[in-house]
Amino acid sequence: MTYARLGVGMVGYSFMGAVHAHAWNTAPRFFTLPLHPELTLLAGRNAEAVTAAAARFGFAETTTDWRTMLTRDDVDLVDVCTPGDTHAEIAIAALEAGKHVLCEKPLANSVAEAEAMAAAAASAAEHGVRAMVGFTYRRVPAIQLARQLVAEGALGQIRHVRADYLQDWLSDPSAPLSWRLDKSKAGSGALGDIGAHVIDLAQFITGEQITAVTGMLDTFVAERPIAASAAGLSATAGEGMGPVTVDDSAAFLARLSGGGNGVFTATRFAQGRKNAIRIEINGSRGSLAFDFEDMNVLHVYDAEEVAERAGFRRIVVTEPGHPFVAAWWPPGHGLGYEHGFTHQAVDLVTALAEGSQPTPSFADGLAVQRVLDAVERSAATGTWLAVSGTGQAATDPSTRKEVHSPA
């Protein structure tokens, strides 16, 4: 099968749909791709809205039934940009139909769904059909550089990961209910929506697994006004308030497979923090720090430098030798949020042309899902829990004393 073109069918067209479509449009203009992505088909339930979105983003056709694309020969890849409760159904059906799949994160709303998806991906891979999950922040150049540095050993043995994902859009108790606050649709709240990103980033950058956790979930505002537009649809029309059934904030302590520890926070109640993804990693040889509010910069500390000259180095990650950057602008002309999606498209297309497994795979997505699940269950029991699939013994993992002999 030669791929002169790559027909893309997309399901969903709101925030994630827009940024994915922009990536598909932009990737071939700045990168030399082995296949040419074409926006073949856009699926959505509302015929009028899906038609408008397709016109805006350049899709050739539309459908109100995503299953249509399973039988279209000109659709090679299904890009799943819907809420989490539909990921498993769509992605598994697509893989079984022989379509490559790019699925937004979190992979699913439960471990069971994610396991089924990972199994489907494994089966499909035997036939050269590939699946990828959209943890897009991995492809911010500064994050790629962070991964490179850790892989080169620049940090030595990892001792600490501290990672926060801070937003504030729910701080106001009069902010209305939405599907994101409904557990049946969203699976969880801050935990799965944004916590999933920092879990994946921590595992990606360190190359380690989170093996055990103890978590804490809070719902600060337990009832919210039902939006006027939604009220007409509600069984309880007239009452005006509805329950929030997910967490507003999540935090957890973690064990890492390499012997270090982690401290994680995800919240939508950090007033003044709009999309602050903050990661600091401390190892035996050095440290690194990143804040998405200053996304073109990575701070790196090398403990082997002379003490009087050592300090966190502020690397502006816009040099041509930095990952993905040569395709763009001269040094110092920074990139934005959406570039990670374009880079994701580039790597996915390249892997498909090469017949290799794109990353993060559905197995990587499942690994994150298992951490989310362990956090949620540990918060309910108040105890540490091993993360399934990591080989961590279920016995008490909260304290640890280990001999690291001097190097």
Considering only residues 253 through 292, tell me which ones interact with a copy of itself, judged by CB under 8 A: 253, 259, 261, 263, 265, 267, 269-276, 280, 282-287, 292
* CB nearer a copy of itself, residue 7 or residue 28: 28
Distance from C-alpha of 6 to C-alpha of 13, rounded to nearest angstrom: 19
Work out how close the CB of 249 gets to a copy of itself at its nearest, in angstroms, rounded to a whole number. Answer: 7
Tokens of 255: 């064990």
Residues 1-30 that bind a copy of itself (CB under 8 A): 15, 18-19, 21-22, 25-26, 28-30
Look at residues 402, 359, 367, 361 and name the one whose alpha carbon lies nearest to residue 387: 367
* CB nearer a copy of itself, residue 238 or residue 272: 272
Residues 364-393 that bind a copy of itself (CB under 8 A): 378-384
* CB nearer a copy of itself, residue 118 or residue 145: 145
H or E element in which residue 61 lies: strand 61-63
* CB nearer a copy of itself, residue 26 or residue 350: 26
* CB nearer a copy of itself, residue 296 or residue 361: 296
Q: Binding of a copy of itself at residue 219 (CB under 8 A)?
A: yes
Q: Which of 319, 350, 357, 359 binds a copy of itself (CB under 8 A)?
A: 319
Distance from C-alpha of 20 to C-alpha of 341, rounded to nearest angstrom: 6
Q: Which of 3, 14, 56, 153 binds a copy of itself (CB under 8 A)?
A: 56
Concatenated DSSP letters of 247-269:
-SEEEEEEEETTS-EEEEEEES-
Q: Which of 333, 354, 356, 391 binds a copy of itself (CB under 8 A)?
A: 333
Q: Which of 34, 98, 207, 331 binds a copy of itself (CB under 8 A)?
A: 331
Distance from C-alpha of 46 to C-alpha of 35, rounded to nearest angstrom: 31
Work out how close the CB of 288 gets to a copy of itself at its nearest, in angstroms, rounded to a whole number. Answer: 9
Could you give the C-alpha distances from 122 to 76, 125, 362, in angstroms and in order?
Answer: 18, 5, 9
Concatenated DSSP letters of 91-154:
HHHHHHTT-EEEEESSS-SSHHHHHHHHHHHHHHHTTT--EEEE-GGGGSHHHHHHHHHHHTTT
Q: Is the dihedral of CA 13, 86, 73, 359 positive or negative?
A: positive
* CB nearer a copy of itself, residue 19 or residue 93: 19
**CB contact at 8 A, 164 and 278:** yes
Terminus-to-terminus CA distance in the chain, angstroms? 52
Q: Which of 70, 125, 338, 350 binds a copy of itself (CB under 8 A)?
A: 338
Look at residues 304, 282, 279, 301 and name the one whose alpha carbon lies nearest to residue 290: 279
* CB nearer a copy of itself, residue 67 or residue 162: 162
* CB nearer a copy of itself, residue 160 or residue 185: 160
Identify which range of 4-12, 125-133, 247-255, 356-364 contacts a copy of itself by CB under 8 A.
247-255
Q: Is the dihedral of CA 175, 176, 179, 183 positive or negative?
A: positive
Q: Which of 1, 228, 235, 307 binds a copy of itself (CB under 8 A)?
A: 307
Q: Which of 59, 135, 252, 362 binds a copy of itself (CB under 8 A)?
A: 252
C-alpha Rg value of the chain to the nearest Å: 22
Could you give the C-alpha distances from 67 to 5, 11, 25, 70, in angstroms and in order?
Answer: 21, 10, 24, 5
Tokens of 243: 């329950």
Identify which range of 67-75, 126-134, 216-224, 347-355 contacts a copy of itself by CB under 8 A.
216-224
Q: Binding of a copy of itself at residue 312 (CB under 8 A)?
A: yes
* CB nearer a copy of itself, residue 127 or residue 404: 404
Q: Which of 122, 183, 223, 388 binds a copy of itself (CB under 8 A)?
A: 223
Residues 121-180 that bind a copy of itself (CB under 8 A): 145, 159-160, 162, 164, 167-169, 171-174
Residues 176, 107, 183: CA angle, nearest 5 degrees: 30
Identify which range of 5-13, 64-72, 107-115, 303-311 contacts a copy of itself by CB under 8 A.
303-311
User: For 272, left (φ over 0), alpha (ψ -120 to 50), or beta?
Assistant: left
* CB nearer a copy of itself, residue 124 or residue 256: 256
Q: Which of 89, 119, 225, 350 binds a copy of itself (CB under 8 A)?
A: 225
